[in-house]
């Protein structure tokens, strides 16, 4: 049986201090230059997917291999959790076989329950409430393009988020508060981020100089932004709302006109997959300001850093 007292999880930005996240980002930058290592030699990481995945599944699997470990991809259909076994029992059992668990879960409370009973690190590969690995990759991408040598240089950086106040928006609020960034979220009425996350982010802004603002006007949100971020209007499980959401979200499309209101040279960001012609136009997605595929690549590097930090306690 593994020692539960020594394990840590990465479920939310709230699980780590700013200095710890800085260490992870600096380590990710180094790991990007040196692709392979042996820090996970002899270790097996289970990757559980209750939802479809491209970037999370492939980047984590490749990352584990590049660190010298063994990834075990576990589609939820082959696990008893699909037939009603509790997350707590699944976590207990897998702790006897694996060294860490990455899970893309339907509900945030499932990953919280699993982490609470597992004796090994549990990493959030996406839930309905948060997507921290994605935002780690986003932060690394901004650092690269702005030539920030230290993550603390993110203080005061202005980012506008357009569209649904979803899991990515929640993680962005927590990250922005941690680093003192200026984050403006433009969301239609009734689709704003959850009030508890807004409050948590606003109360967590201890760096000073940062701000978290939620508004309905996308034009106001993007004014002066150094990066403009969007996500799909219809997330997994919301397909029945597709037509309704398309009508409501149409003013929030990231197009050339809206982008022109941002700071010249503003980065265009999207966590992918993108629905071209819906939340973002083809010309903007493929335009000179777009960094979306660098974001996707950086998923690999930040996740390797998270795995290294949790399984070896190696610091930058």
* Residue 232 CA: distances (Å) to CA of 169, 238, 252, 276, 284: 12, 11, 11, 10, 15
238 is catalytic: no
Q: Cβ(48)–Cβ(23) under 8 Å? A: no
Catalytic-role residue among 271, 295, 301, 303: 271
Q: Cβ(103)–Cβ(132) under 8 Å? A: no
134 is catalytic: yes
271 is catalytic: yes
Catalytic-role residue among 131, 170, 270, 301: 131
Round to whole Å and give the CA distance between 167 and 131: 6
295 is catalytic: no
22 is catalytic: no
Per-residue tokens: 148: 């920030």
8 is catalytic: no
For 178-196, letters b (16+ CB in 10 Å) and e give bbbbbbbbbbbeebbbeee
Catalytic-role residue among 66, 134, 253, 303: 134
Burial category of 236 from C-beta neighbours within 10 Å (exposed 0-12, middle 13-18, buried 19 and up): middle
Catalytic-role residue among 104, 158, 270, 301: 104
Catalytic-role residue among 18, 170, 299, 301: 299
Round to whole Å and give the CA distance between 254 and 79: 40
Catalytic residues: 104, 131, 134, 231, 271, 299
């Amino acid at each position: 049986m593994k020692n539960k007292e020594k394990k840590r999880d990465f479920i939310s930005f709230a699980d780590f201090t700013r200095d710890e996240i800085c260490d992870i980002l600096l380590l990710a930058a180094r790991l990007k230059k040196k692709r392979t290592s042996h820090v996970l030699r002899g270790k097996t990481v289970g990757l559980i997917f209750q939802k479809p995945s491209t970037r999370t599944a492939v980047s984590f699997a490749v990352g584990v291999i590049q660190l010298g470990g063994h990834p075990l991809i576990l589609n939820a259909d082959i696990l008893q959790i699909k037939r009603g076994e509790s997350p707590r029992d699944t976590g207990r059992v897998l702790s006897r076989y694996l060294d860490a668990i990455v899970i893309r879960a339907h509900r945030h409370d499932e990953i919280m329950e699993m982490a609470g009973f597992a004796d090994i690190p549990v990493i959030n590969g996406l839930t309905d409430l948060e997507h921290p690995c994605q935002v780690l990759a986003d932060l690394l991408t901004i650092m690269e393009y702005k030539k920030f040598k230290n993550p603390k240089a993110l203080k005061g950086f202005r980012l506008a988020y357009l569209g649904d106040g979803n899991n990515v928006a929640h993680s962005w609020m927590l990250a922005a508060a941690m680093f003192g960034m200026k984050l403006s979220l433009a969301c239609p009425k009734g689709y704003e981020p959850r009030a508890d996350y807004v409050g948590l982010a606003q109360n967590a802004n201890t760096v000073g100089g940062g701000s978290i603002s939620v508004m309905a006007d996308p034009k106001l949100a993007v004014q002066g932004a150094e990066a403009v971020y969007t996500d799909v209007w219809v997330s997994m499980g919301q397909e029945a709302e597709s037509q309704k959401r398309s009508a409501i979200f149409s003013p929030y499309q990231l197009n050339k006109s809206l982008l022109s209101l941002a700071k010249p040279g503003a980065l265009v960001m999207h966590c992918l997959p993108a629905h071209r012609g819906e939340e973002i136009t083809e010309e903007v997605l493929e335009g000179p300001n777009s960094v979306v595929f660098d974001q996707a690549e950086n998923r690999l590097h930040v996740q390797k850093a998270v795995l290294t930090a949790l399984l070896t306690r190696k610091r930058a």
